[in-house]
C-alpha cells in the first residue's frame, strides 16, 4: 500500500486549534455551515442539502 | 511521466471519497487514481489531515439554537428513527422466527440457541455480499473513512482496526440486517478471501473469549468485549480466522 505525506498535510496537522477556529470563522456562512454539519455534526451530503435547503 | 495539477472534478471526487459518499465503482476509480497520481494523493492527505485536526483538536461548541432546530426539523426524525434500532426487538424477532420455523420446539427444549441463529443470519449476509458486485457499501482501506461512514447511518459505529501489516487489509464496510435490525459490518481481506466482521450489542458486558463454529462450510468466530459482540465470517481457513480475531481483539487502534 502506498502512503503519501505531503508537506501541506504535515503543516495542517501541526496547526493549532486557535488558527483552525479563526480559519473556520472567516469562512462565508454557507461554507462554514456545511463544514460544521459535515465534519463536526457528521451529517451526510443529502442531509446537509436538506438542512441548508440547497436542493 | 509527468503529473499536472488535478482537475476540479477529480478533487471533488477525492473529497466525496474521503467523506464516504461515493458508490463502490466511483470509489474504486478515485482510489486507483490517487494511487497513480501523487498530486491527487497529496490532496487526499491534505483533506484527511484537516478532518483529523477538526476531529482531534477542535473542541465541540454549542451550535446556534436556530441551526439545531433546523436540523431537527429536516432530518432529526429520520436520524432518531435510524439511531434506535431496538435490540429487544431483534431478540424478539429472532425468537419469533425460530418459533415459526421450528414449530416452537427449540423454545421448549432449547435445542438451538439464539447465537446459532445470529451466525446463520450473518453467514447468509456474507454470502449475499460475495454475490454482489462489491462486498462493501463503502470502499476504503482507511479506517478514518470507514468508521465515520457508519455515523449517521447506524446507531452503533463499530471499532475499526488497521491490520494491514498483519496481512488483513481493510476493504471497507457495509450495513447488514439481522432480524430486522441493521448492523455494521467491516470487511477485510486475507489473500483472496473476504472476512466480514459484524458488531452488535452484547447481551452482557462480560468479556467472552472467542468461540469458533462452522455454518454451511463457512467459519464463524464470535467474541464479546466492552458490551459489543463481534462475529467474524469467512471461508478462510479456521486457524487464519481465529488469528484474525486474536489480532482484532488485541489491537489498540481506534479512531
Query: Tell me: the pLDDT tens digits for B60-92?
Result: 655 666 766 776 676 655 444 443 333 444 444
pLDDT digits over A18-35, tens only?
A: 777 888 888 888 888 888
Nearest to B24 by CA among B148, B171, B185: B171
User: Rounded to 5 degrees, what angle do the CA atoms B60, B66, B72 make?
Assistant: 80
Residues 184-223 of B with CB under 8 A from A: none
Q: How many domains does chain A have?
A: 1
Domain that includes residue A15, residue range: 7-51
Instruction: Provide the whole-model pTM.
Output: 0.47
* Residue B29, C-alpha cell as written in the block: 476509480
Is residue A31 domain-resident? Answer: yes
Is residue A38 domain-resident? Answer: yes
> Which residue intervals of chain B bear CATH 3.30.200.100?
83-250
Residues of chain A positioned with their CB less than 8 A from the CB of B50:
12
d(CA B171, CA A1): 12
d(CA B191, CA B186): 17
Distance from CA of B42 to the nearest CA of A (A): 5
Say whether the ipTM exceeds 0.85.
Answer: no
Is residue A19 domain-resident? Answer: yes
d(CA B57, CA B42): 22
Distance from CA of A26 to the nearest CA of B (A): 15
Is residue A35 domain-resident? Answer: yes
The CATH class for the domain spanning B83-250 reads alpha beta
- DSSP label at residue B6: P
Using pLDDT thresholds of 50, 70 and 90, give the confidence band for residue A11.
low
pLDDT digits over B156-178, tens only?
A: 778 899 899 999 999 999 999 88
d(CA B165, CA B163): 5
Is residue A2 domain-resident? Answer: no
Is residue A33 domain-resident? Answer: yes
* Residue showing cell 435510524: B82
Category of B179 on φ-ψ map: left (φ > 0), alpha (ψ -120 to 50) or beta: left
Amino acid at each position: 500500500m502506498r502512503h503519501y505525506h505531503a508537506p501541506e498535510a504535515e503543516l495542517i496537522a501541526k496547526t493549532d486549534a486557535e488558527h483552525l477556529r479563526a480559519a473556520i470563522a472567516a469562512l462565508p456562512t454557507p461554507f462554514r455551515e456545511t463544514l460544521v454539519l459535515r465534519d463536526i455534526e457528521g451529517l451526510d451530503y443529502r442531509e446537509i442539502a436538506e438542512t441548508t435547503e440547497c436542493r | 511521466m509527468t503529473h499536472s495539477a488535478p482537475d476540479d472534478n477529480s478533487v471533488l471526487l477525492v473529497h466525496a471519497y474521503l467523506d464516504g459518499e461515493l458508490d463502490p465503482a466511483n470509489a474504486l476509480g478515485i482510489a486507483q487514481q490517487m494511487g497513480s497520481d501523487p498530486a491527487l494523493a497529496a490532496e487526499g492527505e491534505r483533506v484527511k489531515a484537516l478532518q483529523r485536526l477538526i476531529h482531534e483538536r477542535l473542541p465541540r461548541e454549542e451550535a446556534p439554537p436556530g441551526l439545531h432546530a433546523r436540523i431537527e426539523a429536516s432530518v432529526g426524525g429520520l436520524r432518531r428513527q435510524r439511531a434506535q434500532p431496538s435490540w429487544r426487538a431483534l431478540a424478539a424477532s429472532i425468537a419469533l422466527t425460530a418459533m415459526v420455523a421450528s414449530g416452537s420446539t427449540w423454545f421448549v427444549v432449547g435445542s438451538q440457541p439464539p447465537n446459532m441463529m445470529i451466525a446463520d443470519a450473518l453467514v447468509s449476509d456474507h454470502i449475499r455480499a460475495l454475490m454482489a458486485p462489491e462486498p462493501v457499501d463503502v470502499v476504503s482501506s482507511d479506517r478514518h473513512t470507514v468508521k465515520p461512514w457508519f455515523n449517521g447511518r447506524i446507531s452503533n459505529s463499530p471499532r475499526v482496526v488497521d491490520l494491514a501489516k498483519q496481512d488483513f487489509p481493510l476493504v471497507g464496510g457495509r450495513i447488514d440486517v439481522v432480524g430486522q435490525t441493521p448492523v455494521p459490518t467491516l470487511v477485510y481481506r486475507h489473500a483472496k478471501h473476504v472476512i466480514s466482521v459484524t458488531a452488535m450489542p452484547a447481551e452482557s458486558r462480560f468479556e467472552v473469549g472467542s468461540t469458533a463454529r462452522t455454518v454451511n462450510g463457512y467459519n464463524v468466530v464470535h467474541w464479546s468485549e466492552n458490551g459489543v459482540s463481534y462475529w467474524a465470517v469467512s471461508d478462510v481457513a479456521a486457524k487464519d480466522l481465529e488469528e484474525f480475531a486474536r489480532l482484532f481483539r488485541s489491537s489498540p487502534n481506534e479512531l
